[in-house]
A and B are shown apart, each in its own frame.
Chain A
Protein backbone atom coordinates (compact mmCIF):
# COMPACT_ATOMS: atom_id res chain seq x y z
CA UNK A 1 0.00 0.00 0.00
CA UNK A 2 2.66 2.53 1.00
CA UNK A 3 4.84 1.60 -1.96
CA UNK A 4 1.87 2.12 -4.33
CA UNK A 5 1.18 5.54 -2.81
CA UNK A 6 4.83 6.52 -3.20
CA UNK A 7 4.92 5.17 -6.75
CA UNK A 8 1.85 7.12 -7.87
CA UNK A 9 3.00 10.26 -6.06
CA UNK A 10 6.38 10.12 -7.82
CA UNK A 11 4.72 9.62 -11.21
CA UNK A 12 2.47 12.65 -10.65
CA UNK A 13 5.37 14.79 -9.45
CA UNK A 14 7.32 13.96 -12.61
CA UNK A 15 4.38 15.07 -14.74
CA UNK A 16 4.09 18.30 -12.76
CA UNK A 17 7.80 18.88 -13.35
CA UNK A 18 7.28 18.19 -17.08
CA UNK A 19 9.97 15.53 -16.79
CA UNK A 20 8.32 13.21 -19.29
CA UNK A 21 11.39 11.11 -19.98
CA UNK A 22 11.64 9.99 -16.38
CA UNK A 23 7.84 9.73 -16.18
CA UNK A 24 7.90 7.21 -19.04
CA UNK A 25 10.50 5.07 -17.28
CA UNK A 26 7.79 3.76 -14.97
CA UNK A 27 5.90 2.16 -17.88
CA UNK A 28 6.45 -1.31 -19.32
CA UNK A 29 7.41 -1.56 -23.00
CA UNK A 30 4.08 -3.25 -23.74
CA UNK A 31 2.08 -0.89 -21.52
CA UNK A 32 -1.33 0.55 -22.24
CA UNK A 33 -1.95 4.20 -21.39
CA UNK A 34 -5.28 5.75 -22.23
CA UNK A 35 -7.43 8.71 -21.34
CA UNK A 36 -11.12 7.80 -21.40
CA UNK A 37 -14.36 9.71 -20.94
CA UNK A 38 -16.73 8.38 -18.32
CA UNK A 39 -19.59 9.37 -20.62
CA UNK A 40 -18.33 6.88 -23.20
CA UNK A 41 -17.68 4.14 -20.64
CA UNK A 42 -21.23 4.52 -19.35
CA UNK A 43 -22.47 4.00 -22.90
CA UNK A 44 -20.23 0.98 -23.44
CA UNK A 45 -17.85 2.80 -25.83
CA UNK A 46 -14.08 2.46 -25.47
CA UNK A 47 -13.23 5.45 -27.68
CA UNK A 48 -10.14 7.11 -26.17
CA UNK A 49 -9.36 10.80 -25.87
CA UNK A 50 -5.71 9.82 -26.01
CA UNK A 51 -4.19 6.38 -26.47
CA UNK A 52 -0.77 4.75 -26.30
CA UNK A 53 -0.95 1.03 -26.99
CA UNK A 54 2.71 0.59 -26.07
CA UNK A 55 5.62 2.63 -24.78
CA UNK A 56 6.68 3.61 -28.29
CA UNK A 57 3.38 5.37 -28.79
CA UNK A 58 3.95 7.16 -25.51
CA UNK A 59 7.38 8.24 -26.78
CA UNK A 60 5.75 9.49 -29.99
CA UNK A 61 3.24 11.53 -27.99
CA UNK A 62 6.01 13.20 -26.08
CA UNK A 63 8.04 13.79 -29.26
CA UNK A 64 5.01 15.33 -30.92
CA UNK A 65 4.30 17.46 -27.86
CA UNK A 66 7.84 18.77 -27.83
CA UNK A 67 8.39 19.21 -31.55
CA UNK A 68 5.09 19.48 -33.36
CA UNK A 69 2.13 20.46 -31.20
CA UNK A 70 1.07 23.96 -30.23
CA UNK A 71 -0.85 24.21 -26.98
CA UNK A 72 -1.59 26.55 -24.13
CA UNK A 73 1.51 27.47 -22.14
CA UNK A 74 0.84 26.14 -18.67
CA UNK A 75 2.01 24.19 -15.65
CA UNK A 76 0.15 21.12 -14.41
CA UNK A 77 -0.48 20.27 -10.77
CA UNK A 78 -1.83 16.83 -9.85
CA UNK A 79 -3.58 16.16 -6.56
CA UNK A 80 -4.16 12.46 -5.81
CA UNK A 81 -6.30 10.68 -3.23
CA UNK A 82 -5.18 7.62 -1.34
CA UNK A 83 -5.48 4.59 -3.63
CA UNK A 84 -7.85 1.69 -3.23
CA UNK A 85 -5.47 -1.22 -3.69
CA UNK A 86 -6.31 -4.82 -4.54
CA UNK A 87 -4.08 -7.70 -5.60
CA UNK A 88 -4.74 -10.28 -8.30
CA UNK A 89 -1.87 -12.74 -8.30
CA UNK A 90 1.23 -10.76 -9.20
CA UNK A 91 -0.78 -7.78 -10.31
CA UNK A 92 -1.48 -4.79 -8.09
CA UNK A 93 -4.57 -2.80 -8.99
CA UNK A 94 -4.90 0.74 -7.70
CA UNK A 95 -7.82 3.11 -8.14
CA UNK A 96 -6.94 6.68 -7.20
CA UNK A 97 -8.97 9.88 -7.48
CA UNK A 98 -7.29 12.61 -9.39
CA UNK A 99 -7.60 16.38 -9.73
CA UNK A 100 -5.47 18.41 -12.10
CA UNK A 101 -5.13 22.16 -12.08
CA UNK A 102 -3.48 24.13 -14.84
CA UNK A 103 -1.79 27.45 -14.14
CA UNK A 104 -1.08 30.00 -16.84
CA UNK A 105 1.64 32.57 -17.35
CA UNK A 106 -0.30 35.19 -15.42
CA UNK A 107 -0.33 32.89 -12.42
CA UNK A 108 -4.02 32.03 -12.64
CA UNK A 109 -4.96 28.44 -11.81
CA UNK A 110 -8.03 26.72 -13.15
CA UNK A 111 -9.39 23.28 -12.51
CA UNK A 112 -8.63 21.28 -15.64
CA UNK A 113 -9.76 17.77 -14.88
CA UNK A 114 -11.43 15.58 -12.28
CA UNK A 115 -11.25 11.83 -12.58
CA UNK A 116 -9.45 8.71 -11.50
CA UNK A 117 -6.51 6.52 -12.31
CA UNK A 118 -7.16 2.82 -12.72
CA UNK A 119 -3.65 1.42 -12.61
CA UNK A 120 -2.34 -2.08 -13.12
CA UNK A 121 1.09 -2.30 -11.56
CA UNK A 122 3.60 -5.10 -11.39
CA UNK A 123 6.69 -5.59 -9.30
CA UNK A 124 9.98 -5.74 -11.19
CA UNK A 125 13.59 -5.97 -10.04
CA UNK A 126 13.86 -2.22 -10.71
CA UNK A 127 10.76 -1.44 -8.68
CA UNK A 128 7.10 -1.02 -9.54
CA UNK A 129 6.12 -0.69 -13.20
CA UNK A 130 2.87 0.35 -14.87
CA UNK A 131 1.41 -2.29 -17.15
CA UNK A 132 -1.68 -0.24 -17.71
CA UNK A 133 -3.03 3.15 -16.72
CA UNK A 134 -6.57 4.22 -17.56
CA UNK A 135 -7.20 7.89 -16.82
CA UNK A 136 -10.97 8.05 -16.58
CA UNK A 137 -12.29 11.59 -16.76
CA UNK A 138 -15.43 12.91 -15.11
CA UNK A 139 -14.40 16.14 -16.84
CA UNK A 140 -14.99 14.79 -20.32
CA UNK A 141 -15.85 18.23 -21.66
CA UNK A 142 -12.22 19.11 -22.27
CA UNK A 143 -11.66 22.82 -21.75
CA UNK A 144 -9.40 24.28 -24.45
CA UNK A 145 -7.47 21.13 -25.37
CA UNK A 146 -5.72 18.06 -24.05
CA UNK A 147 -1.97 18.30 -24.45
CA UNK A 148 0.31 17.28 -21.59
CA UNK A 149 -0.28 13.74 -20.26
CA UNK A 150 -2.57 13.40 -17.26
Chain B
Protein backbone atom coordinates (compact mmCIF):
# COMPACT_ATOMS: atom_id res chain seq x y z
CA UNK B 1 0.00 0.00 0.00
CA UNK B 2 1.42 3.34 -1.06
CA UNK B 3 1.31 5.70 1.87
CA UNK B 4 0.81 8.84 -0.16
CA UNK B 5 -2.28 7.46 -1.87
CA UNK B 6 -3.96 7.50 1.55
CA UNK B 7 -2.46 10.36 3.46
CA UNK B 8 -2.16 13.31 1.16
CA UNK B 9 -1.02 15.93 3.63
CA UNK B 10 1.38 15.59 6.56
CA UNK B 11 -1.03 17.43 8.84
CA UNK B 12 -3.90 15.07 7.88
CA UNK B 13 -5.80 17.85 6.13
CA UNK B 14 -6.40 15.57 3.16
CA UNK B 15 -7.12 11.84 3.12
CA UNK B 16 -7.28 9.59 0.05
CA UNK B 17 -10.69 7.99 -0.37
CA UNK B 18 -9.20 4.55 -0.88
CA UNK B 19 -8.96 4.24 2.91
CA UNK B 20 -12.75 3.79 3.05
CA UNK B 21 -12.93 1.06 0.41
CA UNK B 22 -9.92 -1.23 0.58
CA UNK B 23 -10.30 -4.80 1.85
CA UNK B 24 -6.58 -4.88 2.54
CA UNK B 25 -6.89 -1.90 4.85
CA UNK B 26 -9.97 -3.38 6.52
CA UNK B 27 -8.04 -6.57 7.37
CA UNK B 28 -5.19 -4.52 8.77
CA UNK B 29 -7.64 -2.58 10.97
CA UNK B 30 -8.70 -5.83 12.61
CA UNK B 31 -5.16 -6.53 13.82
CA UNK B 32 -3.74 -3.02 14.24
CA UNK B 33 -6.75 -1.18 15.64
CA UNK B 34 -9.32 -3.56 17.07
CA UNK B 35 -6.66 -5.93 18.41
CA UNK B 36 -4.16 -3.15 19.00
CA UNK B 37 -2.78 -1.54 22.13
CA UNK B 38 -5.67 0.84 22.61
CA UNK B 39 -9.05 0.84 24.34
CA UNK B 40 -12.44 0.18 22.75
CA UNK B 41 -15.80 1.08 24.26
CA UNK B 42 -17.49 -2.20 25.21
CA UNK B 43 -20.61 -1.61 27.31
CA UNK B 44 -21.89 -0.19 30.59
CA UNK B 45 -21.19 -1.99 33.83
CA UNK B 46 -24.91 -1.93 34.78
CA UNK B 47 -25.79 -3.99 31.72
CA UNK B 48 -24.24 -6.96 33.52
CA UNK B 49 -25.62 -6.44 37.00
CA UNK B 50 -25.75 -9.99 38.30
CA UNK B 51 -23.27 -12.86 38.44
CA UNK B 52 -23.70 -15.00 35.35
CA UNK B 53 -25.14 -12.22 33.22
CA UNK B 54 -23.60 -11.90 29.78
CA UNK B 55 -23.87 -9.82 26.63
CA UNK B 56 -22.48 -10.32 23.15
CA UNK B 57 -21.05 -7.46 21.16
CA UNK B 58 -18.50 -6.63 18.49
CA UNK B 59 -15.16 -4.90 18.69
CA UNK B 60 -14.35 -4.10 15.11
CA UNK B 61 -16.06 -7.08 13.55
CA UNK B 62 -14.61 -9.43 16.16
CA UNK B 63 -17.46 -11.08 18.09
CA UNK B 64 -17.01 -10.53 21.81
CA UNK B 65 -18.67 -12.16 24.82
CA UNK B 66 -18.72 -10.24 28.11
CA UNK B 67 -19.83 -11.89 31.33
CA UNK B 68 -19.83 -11.36 35.07
CA UNK B 69 -18.22 -14.23 36.96
CA UNK B 70 -19.86 -15.76 40.01
CA UNK B 71 -17.50 -13.73 42.22
CA UNK B 72 -18.59 -10.51 40.53
CA UNK B 73 -15.76 -9.74 38.09
CA UNK B 74 -16.35 -8.63 34.53
CA UNK B 75 -14.53 -10.70 31.91
CA UNK B 76 -14.57 -10.54 28.14
CA UNK B 77 -13.52 -13.03 25.48
CA UNK B 78 -13.52 -13.44 21.78
CA UNK B 79 -16.87 -15.17 21.27
CA UNK B 80 -15.37 -18.08 19.37
CA UNK B 81 -15.15 -21.71 20.41
CA UNK B 82 -11.56 -22.92 20.67
CA UNK B 83 -12.44 -26.25 19.07
CA UNK B 84 -13.32 -25.34 15.50
CA UNK B 85 -14.41 -21.75 15.61
CA UNK B 86 -18.16 -21.74 16.14
CA UNK B 87 -19.72 -18.62 17.60
CA UNK B 88 -19.98 -19.60 21.26
CA UNK B 89 -22.84 -17.45 22.57
CA UNK B 90 -25.51 -16.63 20.02
CA UNK B 91 -27.90 -14.58 22.17
CA UNK B 92 -27.58 -10.80 22.49
CA UNK B 93 -27.76 -11.12 26.27
CA UNK B 94 -28.75 -13.53 29.03
CA UNK B 95 -27.72 -15.20 32.26
CA UNK B 96 -25.98 -18.59 32.62
CA UNK B 97 -23.31 -20.23 34.73
CA UNK B 98 -21.40 -21.70 31.76
CA UNK B 99 -21.18 -21.27 27.98
CA UNK B 100 -21.66 -24.38 25.87
CA UNK B 101 -20.88 -24.47 22.17
CA UNK B 102 -23.78 -25.78 20.09
CA UNK B 103 -21.61 -27.64 17.60
CA UNK B 104 -19.88 -30.34 19.73
CA UNK B 105 -20.82 -29.19 23.22
CA UNK B 106 -17.46 -27.99 24.49
CA UNK B 107 -18.28 -26.17 27.69
CA UNK B 108 -16.48 -23.13 29.16
CA UNK B 109 -16.77 -21.50 32.56
CA UNK B 110 -17.21 -17.77 33.07
CA UNK B 111 -13.44 -17.35 33.39
CA UNK B 112 -13.07 -18.67 29.84
CA UNK B 113 -11.61 -22.04 30.87
CA UNK B 114 -12.62 -25.24 29.08
CA UNK B 115 -14.44 -27.42 31.63
CA UNK B 116 -16.28 -30.06 29.67
CA UNK B 117 -15.92 -32.13 26.50
CA UNK B 118 -18.41 -34.93 25.76
CA UNK B 119 -16.90 -38.34 24.98
CA UNK B 120 -13.43 -37.04 25.81
CA UNK B 121 -12.18 -40.63 26.09
CA UNK B 122 -14.26 -41.89 23.18
CA UNK B 123 -16.33 -45.04 23.50
CA UNK B 124 -14.87 -48.17 25.08
CA UNK B 125 -11.41 -46.67 24.79
CA UNK B 126 -11.77 -46.02 21.07
CA UNK B 127 -11.94 -42.55 19.56
CA UNK B 128 -11.93 -39.44 21.74
CA UNK B 129 -9.16 -37.00 22.40
CA UNK B 130 -5.46 -37.89 22.05
CA UNK B 131 -3.67 -38.66 25.34
CA UNK B 132 -1.43 -35.60 25.06
CA UNK B 133 -4.46 -33.28 24.98
CA UNK B 134 -4.34 -30.95 27.97
CA UNK B 135 -7.74 -29.52 28.67
CA UNK B 136 -6.43 -26.91 31.09
CA UNK B 137 -4.32 -25.34 28.32
CA UNK B 138 -7.45 -24.33 26.39
CA UNK B 139 -8.94 -20.93 27.21
CA UNK B 140 -11.09 -18.50 25.33
CA UNK B 141 -9.08 -15.59 23.92
CA UNK B 142 -9.44 -12.99 26.62
CA UNK B 143 -9.90 -9.26 26.18
CA UNK B 144 -8.55 -7.00 28.90
CA UNK B 145 -11.20 -4.83 30.52
CA UNK B 146 -10.98 -1.58 32.44
CA UNK B 147 -13.84 0.50 33.81
CA UNK B 148 -14.15 4.18 34.63
CA UNK B 149 -17.31 5.57 36.19
CA UNK B 150 -19.17 2.42 35.13
CA UNK B 151 -18.14 2.64 31.47
CA UNK B 152 -16.36 -0.51 30.34
CA UNK B 153 -13.49 -0.40 27.84
CA UNK B 154 -11.63 -3.38 26.39
CA UNK B 155 -8.37 -4.14 24.67
CA UNK B 156 -7.09 -7.22 22.85
CA UNK B 157 -3.63 -5.65 22.80
CA UNK B 158 -0.78 -7.27 24.74
CA UNK B 159 0.37 -4.07 26.31
CA UNK B 160 -2.17 -1.25 26.21
CA UNK B 161 -1.46 1.94 28.17
CA UNK B 162 -3.42 2.62 31.34
CA UNK B 163 -6.99 3.46 30.30
CA UNK B 164 -6.86 6.81 32.14
CA UNK B 165 -3.68 7.73 30.28
CA UNK B 166 -5.13 6.60 26.96
CA UNK B 167 -8.20 8.80 27.35
CA UNK B 168 -6.53 11.73 29.11
CA UNK B 169 -7.69 13.56 32.23
CA UNK B 170 -10.30 15.77 30.54
CA UNK B 171 -12.06 12.78 28.97
CA UNK B 172 -11.99 10.91 32.26
CA UNK B 173 -13.50 13.94 33.98
CA UNK B 174 -16.20 14.31 31.33
CA UNK B 175 -17.18 10.65 31.58
CA UNK B 176 -17.38 11.28 35.32
CA UNK B 177 -19.84 14.12 34.62
CA UNK B 178 -21.98 12.13 32.18
CA UNK B 179 -22.17 9.24 34.66
CA UNK B 180 -22.06 11.24 37.86
CA UNK B 181 -24.49 9.05 39.77
CA UNK B 182 -25.88 5.52 39.41
CA UNK B 183 -27.44 4.93 36.01
CA UNK B 184 -29.98 2.54 34.54
CA UNK B 185 -30.44 1.46 30.93
CA UNK B 186 -33.61 2.78 29.25
CA UNK B 187 -33.33 0.81 26.03
CA UNK B 188 -31.45 0.31 22.78
CA UNK B 189 -31.60 1.51 19.22
CA UNK B 190 -29.82 -0.02 16.26
CA UNK B 191 -29.02 1.57 12.95
CA UNK B 192 -27.40 -0.01 9.90
CA UNK B 193 -25.40 2.65 8.16
CA UNK B 194 -24.39 1.77 4.62
CA UNK B 195 -20.91 3.23 4.78
CA UNK B 196 -17.45 2.61 6.13
CA UNK B 197 -17.08 2.91 9.92
CA UNK B 198 -14.44 5.62 9.63
CA UNK B 199 -16.88 7.89 7.82
CA UNK B 200 -19.06 7.78 10.91
CA UNK B 201 -16.04 8.60 13.06
CA UNK B 202 -15.46 11.64 10.86
CA UNK B 203 -19.14 12.58 11.05
CA UNK B 204 -19.32 12.44 14.81
CA UNK B 205 -16.18 14.60 15.17
CA UNK B 206 -17.40 17.12 12.62
CA UNK B 207 -18.71 19.89 14.84
CA UNK B 208 -19.16 22.05 11.76
CA UNK B 209 -21.98 19.88 10.34
CA UNK B 210 -24.16 19.95 13.47
CA UNK B 211 -25.65 23.33 12.74
CA UNK B 212 -25.74 22.85 8.95
CA UNK B 213 -26.78 19.32 8.03
CA UNK B 214 -29.04 18.94 11.05
CA UNK B 215 -31.36 21.80 10.27
CA UNK B 216 -33.75 20.98 13.07
CA UNK B 217 -30.89 21.86 15.42
CA UNK B 218 -30.33 25.21 13.80
CA UNK B 219 -33.94 26.06 13.15
CA UNK B 220 -35.04 25.45 16.70
CA UNK B 221 -31.84 26.53 18.39
CA UNK B 222 -30.59 23.35 20.05
CA UNK B 223 -27.24 23.88 18.42
CA UNK B 224 -26.32 26.67 16.08
CA UNK B 225 -22.86 27.41 14.79
CA UNK B 226 -23.36 30.94 16.10
CA UNK B 227 -23.59 29.65 19.70
CA UNK B 228 -20.69 29.42 22.10
CA UNK B 229 -19.00 26.08 21.81
CA UNK B 230 -16.03 24.28 20.41
CA UNK B 231 -14.02 21.10 20.34
CA UNK B 232 -11.57 19.72 22.87
CA UNK B 233 -9.06 17.20 21.59
CA UNK B 234 -7.51 14.57 23.83
CA UNK B 235 -5.24 11.54 23.71
CA UNK B 236 -1.59 11.36 22.64
CA UNK B 237 -2.44 12.05 18.97
CA UNK B 238 -5.76 13.85 19.55
CA UNK B 239 -7.94 10.86 18.62
CA UNK B 240 -10.67 11.68 21.14
CA UNK B 241 -12.89 14.67 20.66
CA UNK B 242 -15.43 16.52 22.74
CA UNK B 243 -17.76 18.82 20.83
CA UNK B 244 -19.77 21.07 23.11
CA UNK B 245 -22.16 23.96 22.93
CA UNK B 246 -24.57 25.81 25.17
CA UNK B 247 -28.14 26.57 24.27
CA UNK B 248 -29.06 30.25 23.92
CA UNK B 249 -25.57 31.76 23.83
CA UNK B 250 -25.97 33.46 20.45
CA UNK B 251 -27.87 36.52 19.29
CA UNK B 252 -29.82 37.40 16.20
CA UNK B 253 -27.10 39.31 14.41
CA UNK B 254 -24.57 36.47 14.89
CA UNK B 255 -27.14 34.04 13.49
CA UNK B 256 -28.04 36.21 10.50
CA UNK B 257 -24.40 36.87 9.75
CA UNK B 258 -23.40 33.21 9.73
CA UNK B 259 -26.43 31.70 8.04
CA UNK B 260 -26.91 34.40 5.38
CA UNK B 261 -24.88 32.30 2.91
CA UNK B 262 -27.33 29.42 3.05
CA UNK B 263 -30.85 29.45 1.72
CA UNK B 264 -32.60 26.95 3.81
CA UNK B 265 -31.03 26.20 7.14
CA UNK B 266 -32.28 28.98 9.38
CA UNK B 267 -35.85 30.05 9.23
CA UNK B 268 -36.75 32.06 12.29
CA UNK B 269 -40.45 31.74 11.51
CA UNK B 270 -40.72 28.02 12.28
CA UNK B 271 -42.28 27.27 15.62
CA UNK B 272 -43.01 23.89 17.13
CA UNK B 273 -46.64 23.28 18.04
CA UNK B 274 -45.41 21.32 21.06
CA UNK B 275 -42.05 22.73 22.18
CA UNK B 276 -41.74 20.35 25.16
CA UNK B 277 -39.09 18.44 23.24
CA UNK B 278 -36.78 21.46 23.38
CA UNK B 279 -36.93 21.80 27.15
CA UNK B 280 -33.53 21.53 28.80
CA UNK B 281 -33.37 20.71 32.46
CA UNK B 282 -29.87 21.36 33.78
CA UNK B 283 -28.83 18.24 35.66
CA UNK B 284 -25.19 17.30 35.05
CA UNK B 285 -22.16 18.87 36.71
CA UNK B 286 -21.06 20.43 33.37
CA UNK B 287 -22.40 23.73 31.98
CA UNK B 288 -23.10 22.61 28.42
CA UNK B 289 -26.47 21.67 26.92
CA UNK B 290 -24.84 19.52 24.25
CA UNK B 291 -21.78 17.34 24.58
CA UNK B 292 -20.62 14.70 22.11
CA UNK B 293 -17.53 12.82 23.21
CA UNK B 294 -16.03 10.40 20.73
CA UNK B 295 -13.24 8.11 21.84
CA UNK B 296 -10.97 6.40 19.35
CA UNK B 297 -11.83 4.04 17.74
CA UNK B 298 -15.46 3.10 18.44
CA UNK B 299 -17.08 5.00 21.31
CA UNK B 300 -19.49 7.93 21.46
CA UNK B 301 -20.96 9.43 24.63
CA UNK B 302 -23.71 11.92 24.27
CA UNK B 303 -25.66 14.49 26.19
CA UNK B 304 -28.10 16.31 23.95
CA UNK B 305 -30.27 18.30 26.30
CA UNK B 306 -31.58 15.57 28.65
CA UNK B 307 -31.06 12.73 26.21
CA UNK B 308 -28.15 10.63 27.45
CA UNK B 309 -26.72 7.71 25.56
CA UNK B 310 -23.67 5.86 24.36
CA UNK B 311 -23.10 4.74 20.80
CA UNK B 312 -20.90 1.85 19.79
CA UNK B 313 -19.56 1.78 16.25
CA UNK B 314 -19.53 -1.78 14.92
CA UNK B 315 -17.94 -2.22 11.49
CA UNK B 316 -19.68 -4.88 9.39
CA UNK B 317 -17.30 -5.14 6.48
CA UNK B 318 -15.83 -2.35 4.40
CA UNK B 319 -19.21 -1.03 3.25
CA UNK B 320 -21.43 -1.23 6.29
CA UNK B 321 -21.59 -0.64 10.02
CA UNK B 322 -24.02 -0.99 12.86
CA UNK B 323 -24.49 1.89 15.24
CA UNK B 324 -25.64 0.54 18.59
CA UNK B 325 -27.26 3.14 20.84
CA UNK B 326 -27.63 2.53 24.58
CA UNK B 327 -29.92 5.07 26.26
CA UNK B 328 -29.65 5.63 29.97
CA UNK B 329 -31.05 7.71 32.78
CA UNK B 330 -30.29 7.93 36.48
CA UNK B 331 -31.64 5.48 39.02
CA UNK B 332 -33.24 8.33 40.95
CA UNK B 333 -34.93 9.99 37.94
CA UNK B 334 -38.36 11.39 38.83
CA UNK B 335 -41.30 10.07 36.76
CA UNK B 336 -41.36 13.48 35.01
CA UNK B 337 -37.70 13.21 34.04
CA UNK B 338 -38.21 9.62 32.87
CA UNK B 339 -41.02 10.85 30.62
CA UNK B 340 -38.93 13.79 29.41
CA UNK B 341 -36.05 11.48 28.45
CA UNK B 342 -38.54 9.32 26.53
CA UNK B 343 -39.76 12.41 24.75
CA UNK B 344 -36.22 13.52 23.92
CA UNK B 345 -35.38 10.09 22.53
CA UNK B 346 -37.03 11.72 19.49
CA UNK B 347 -34.00 13.92 19.05
CA UNK B 348 -31.44 11.24 18.33
CA UNK B 349 -31.14 7.70 17.02
CA UNK B 350 -31.98 6.45 13.52
CA UNK B 351 -35.17 8.50 13.50
CA UNK B 352 -33.82 11.40 15.53
CA UNK B 353 -34.89 14.89 14.53
CA UNK B 354 -31.28 16.02 14.85
CA UNK B 355 -29.46 12.85 13.83
CA UNK B 356 -31.29 10.97 11.07
CA UNK B 357 -29.24 12.88 8.50
CA UNK B 358 -25.98 11.27 9.58
CA UNK B 359 -26.98 7.89 8.13
CA UNK B 360 -27.71 9.58 4.83
CA UNK B 361 -24.58 11.75 4.75
CA UNK B 362 -22.28 8.81 5.49
CA UNK B 363 -23.89 6.73 2.76
CA UNK B 364 -23.67 9.53 0.21
CA UNK B 365 -19.95 9.95 0.86
CA UNK B 366 -19.37 6.21 0.82
CA UNK B 367 -21.14 5.62 -2.48
CA UNK B 368 -19.52 8.51 -4.28
CA UNK B 369 -15.95 8.00 -3.06
CA UNK B 370 -16.04 4.33 -4.05
CA UNK B 371 -15.82 5.38 -7.65
CA UNK B 372 -12.93 7.76 -7.03
CA UNK B 373 -10.42 6.03 -4.75
CA UNK B 374 -7.63 8.18 -6.12
CA UNK B 375 -9.33 11.43 -5.12
CA UNK B 376 -9.00 12.91 -1.64
CA UNK B 377 -10.92 14.98 0.88
CA UNK B 378 -10.28 18.51 2.16
CA UNK B 379 -10.26 18.74 5.93
CA UNK B 380 -9.41 22.40 6.24
CA UNK B 381 -12.15 24.18 8.17
CA UNK B 382 -10.74 25.37 11.47
CA UNK B 383 -7.23 25.79 10.09
CA UNK B 384 -4.17 23.77 9.09
CA UNK B 385 -0.99 22.78 10.87
CA UNK B 386 -1.03 21.88 14.54
CA UNK B 387 -4.00 19.79 15.67
CA UNK B 388 -5.42 21.49 18.73
CA UNK B 389 -8.53 22.58 20.63
CA UNK B 390 -11.00 24.87 18.92
CA UNK B 391 -13.07 27.57 20.54
CA UNK B 392 -15.52 27.69 17.70
CA UNK B 393 -17.98 25.14 16.37
CA UNK B 394 -16.93 26.03 12.84
CA UNK B 395 -14.13 23.49 12.74
CA UNK B 396 -13.24 20.05 11.49
CA UNK B 397 -9.93 19.94 13.33
CA UNK B 398 -11.12 16.86 15.32
CA UNK B 399 -11.18 14.80 12.09
CA UNK B 400 -7.49 15.43 11.68
CA UNK B 401 -6.95 14.17 15.24
CA UNK B 402 -8.83 11.01 14.29
CA UNK B 403 -6.65 10.46 11.24
CA UNK B 404 -3.41 11.19 13.08
CA UNK B 405 -4.39 8.53 15.61
CA UNK B 406 -5.62 6.13 12.94
CA UNK B 407 -2.45 6.19 10.84
CA UNK B 408 -0.27 5.84 13.92
CA UNK B 409 -2.23 2.80 15.09
CA UNK B 410 -2.19 1.33 11.57
CA UNK B 411 1.56 1.90 11.36
CA UNK B 412 1.12 3.39 7.90
Contact = CB atoms under 8 A, between A and B. Distances in A.
A29 B274 CA distance: 12
Contacts of A43: 187-188
A143 B191 CA distance: 6
Interface stretch (A6-14, A66-74, A85-93, A95-103): A66-74
Contacts of B279: none
B271 to A, nearest CB: 9
A45 to B, nearest CB: 3
Given A48-B342, A67-B219, A145 B351 contact: yes
A27 to B, nearest CB: 13
B351 A67 contact: no
A140 B40 CA distance: 24
B186 interface: yes
A142 B350 CA distance: 7
B190 A51 contact: no
Given A47-B327, A147-B351, A67 B187 contact: no
B346 A47 contact: no
A87 B220 CA distance: 42
A51 B346 contact: yes
A111 interface: no
A141 B192 contact: yes
A79 interface: no
B219 to A, nearest CB: 5
A25 B357 CA distance: 28
A67 B270 CA distance: 9
A69 B351 CA distance: 10
Contacts of A121: none
B322 interface: yes
B363 interface: yes
Contacts of A49: 189, 345, 349-351
Interface string A24-42: 0000000000010101100
A61 B194 CA distance: 24
Contacts of B185: 45
B194 A144 contact: yes
Interface of B: 92, 185-194, 213, 215-216, 219, 267, 270, 272-274, 277, 322, 327, 342-343, 345-346, 349-351, 353, 356-361, 363
